[in-house]
Amino acid sequence: MVDAATLLTVLIAALASLFMAWAIGAGSSGSTPFAPAVGANAISVMRAGFFVGILGFLGAVLQGANVSEAVGRELISGVTLSGEAAAVGLLTAATLVAIGVFTGYPIATAFTVTGAIVGVGLALGGDPAWAKYTEIGTLWVLTPFVGGGIAYGTARVLRAEDVPERYTVPILAGVVGLILANIEFALLGPPDVGQSVAETVSIALGSPAVAGIEVGVGGVTLLAAIACGLLLYRDIRGDAAGAQRRFLLVLGGLVAFSAGGSQVGLAIGPLLPLLDPFDLSLTAILVGGGIGLLAGSWTGAPRMIKAIAQDYSSLGPRRSIAALIPSFAIAQAAVLFGIPVSFNEIIVSAVIGAGYAAGGGGVSKAKMGYTVLAWIGSLVLSIVLAYGILWAALAVL
């Protein structure tokens, strides 16, 4: 039996989680996926906000479990988050993200949430989870170099006059198909376990394993890559410019879906320990978080979409494609390993990398510098604020 005080605390934490979900939808998951497509004039700002909300909701429900568990249970050792701690952490992070939304600067949501949850966990007397921090920090540090580097190299290839686009773009579509065949979906696996399309087909066919490698998984992956490549090759032969725009929109949709799967965990993860006594399914909690993302995307994302699309780099379809492919791959890697990652960091790094492929591409160095400082500052500030607020509250109580 849950007493009234505990129920009230959980309700306050749930409202803070909903506010966090709105802020994420309005900020990182709502603004960044379609920003390159908007910058390339492939879709309007308002349409981008509409579609990113729907796709983010689907991603949250189908792929949100891994990151949610990591944020809720793996960022601090030795203690379980209380309702007060979850509420303070989420409100602190959401406030910082909301400030970024209304000022036009993309605050890294993963930095603020991770910092805030670590801060309140330390205030409760918990121990740092150094192994998890190493894993998270490695991805955060590598993302700008890997994502920006791949985007730069891809954009250079697409701009090369001696490499026909009718071959390079379909090859890139094949790479996307390869990734698609191997990303995990909650509905395909056993209860509480995700499974990819390639694994599902391989199991259904009863394919053998050779040297520890599932033959069926490799076969389905290869077929998916070939099918995607051929479809785009056929499309690009009929209308090259139109095919590029359609491919760009598909990529934006995939990144939006991935954003939902990754970012929803930042909002609902801290709630999971609190909701254990209520016997709620994780899927139901993910649906609630997804609705919050949807609301944020529809009401607050257009401002940030405009900021990223127009302020960071003037991208055409080629460089936008180059930016979104590594963004999709990095996002899915983060979802697979349950690592909270900033979509602002992913997209902005890739946009900058693609922009430099054209000698700078309109990239604002001042904006880049301010953004990096905002990311670092938000991490430090969220830790200090969350720790201080909860410490003071516990001292008074």
For residues 2 and 248, which has the higher predicted lDDT (pLDDT)?
A: 248
Name the burial class of residue 212, with classes exposed (0-12), middle (13-18) and buried (19+) by CB atoms within 10 angstroms of its CB: exposed
The pLDDT value recorded for residue 385 is 93
pLDDT confidence bin for 210, thresholds 50/70/90: low
CB 320 within 8 A of CB 361: no
Dist. CA 57–CA 257, nearest whole Å: 8
Provide the token pair at 297. 């995307």
Dist. CA 167–CA 172, nearest whole Å: 9
Provide the token pair at 393. 């509250």
Of 67-81, 153-167, 225-239, 255-269, the one with minimum mean pLDDT is 153-167
- Is the model's pLDDT at 366 over the cut of 80? no
Say which amino acid occupies 192.
Answer: D
Q: What is the mean pLDDT of the chain?
A: 83
Dist. CA 152–CA 172, nearest whole Å: 14
pLDDT confidence bin for 228, thresholds 50/70/90: very high
Task: Provide φ and ψ at 256, rounded to 5°.
Answer: -65, -45
In this prediction, residues 378-397 reach a mean pLDDT of 89
- Is the model's pLDDT at 387 over the cut of 80? yes
Domain boundaries defined on the chain: 4-396
- Is the model's pLDDT at 25 over the cut of 50? yes
The pLDDT value recorded for residue 313 is 47
The pLDDT value recorded for residue 312 is 47
Dist. CA 392–CA 386, nearest whole Å: 10
Say which amino acid occupies 187.
Answer: L
Return the exposure string of 51-78: e unless at least 16 CB atoms fall within 10 Å of the residue's CB, then b: bbbbbbbbbbbbbbbbbbbbbbbbbbee
- Is the model's pLDDT at 36 over the cut of 80? no
In this prediction, residues 96-125 reach a mean pLDDT of 82
Chain segment 263-291, per-residue pLDDT in tens: 898 989 888 888 877 778 888 899 999 99
In this prediction, residues 114-132 reach a mean pLDDT of 92
Most confident of the following: 7-11, 174-178, 205-209, 349-353: 174-178
Quick one: three-class SS letters along the chain?
Answer: CCCHHHHHHHHHHHHHHHHHHHHHHHCHHHHCCCHHHHHCCCCCHHHHHHHHHHHHHHHHHHHCHHHHHHHHHCCEECCCCCHHHHHHHHHHHHHHHHHHHHHCCCCCHHHHHHHHHHHHHHHCCCEECHHHHHHHHHHHHHHHHHHHHHHHHHHHHHHCCCCCHHHHHHHHHHHHHHHHHHCEECCCCCCCCCEEHHHHHHHHHCCCEECCEEHHHHHHHHHHHHHHHHHHHHHHHHCHHHHHHHHHHHHHHHHHHHHHHHHHHHHHHHHHHHHHHHCCCHHHHHHHHHHHHHHHHHHHHHHHHHHHHHHCCCCCHHHHHHHHHHHHHHHHHHHHHCCCCCHHHHHHHHHHHHHHCCCCCCCCHHHHHHHHHHHHHHHHHHHHHHHHHHHHHHHHC
Chain segment 47-84, per-residue pLDDT in tens: 888 888 899 999 999 998 889 988 988 999 988 888 88
pLDDT confidence bin for 215, thresholds 50/70/90: confident
- Is the model's pLDDT at 139 over the cut of 60? yes
- Angle subtended at Cα 272 by Cα 266 and Cα 274, rounded to the nearest 5 degrees: 125
In this prediction, residues 350-376 reach a mean pLDDT of 73
Dist. CA 95–CA 52, nearest whole Å: 22
